[in-house]
Amino acid sequence: MKKIVIIFMLAMLSLNSYTSVKGTTLNGYLFARTKKQMVKLVEYVRNNNKKEFITYIKELQTTGEGGALDDGLEVEIVDNSQGLVQIRLVGRTETVWTVTEAIRRE
C-alpha cells in the first residue's frame, strides 16, 4: 500500500511541474497578496476613482500587502482567473495576484 501511495504522489508532482506555466514580470504593474485586494484595485481603476486607488495602494505598500512588480522576475502562474493571475516567484512559496498583462508568458 505504501508503494502505491508513493507512486501516486510522484505522479502528481510530475504532473504539476509539467502543467505549470512560466513567465516573466513586466515593470511597474501592481500586485496584491490576495485576489480580493487585487480586484479592489482593478475596480478603482475601472471606476476612475484615483483618490481611493492611491489611498488603497499606499495602504497595501505600507503593510507589505502590495506594490509594484520589478521587470524580468521569473514566475510560475498558479491560477488564472477573470483577467487576473496568481503568480509565484520561481524558487519561492509565497504567491501574489496581478493582472494578466503584467506577465510575459514563455
In angstroms, the CA 31 to CA 61 distance is: 10
| Mean pLDDT value across residues 70-80 | 94
For 23-37, write each residue's pLDDT tens digit: 999 999 999 999 999
Residue 41: C-alpha distances to residues 1, 58, 86, 96, 103 (Å): 49, 11, 15, 14, 17
pTM of the predicted structure, to 2 decimals? 0.78
Residue 10 has pLDDT above 50, yes or no: no
Q: 74 versus 16: which is more confidently predicted?
A: 74
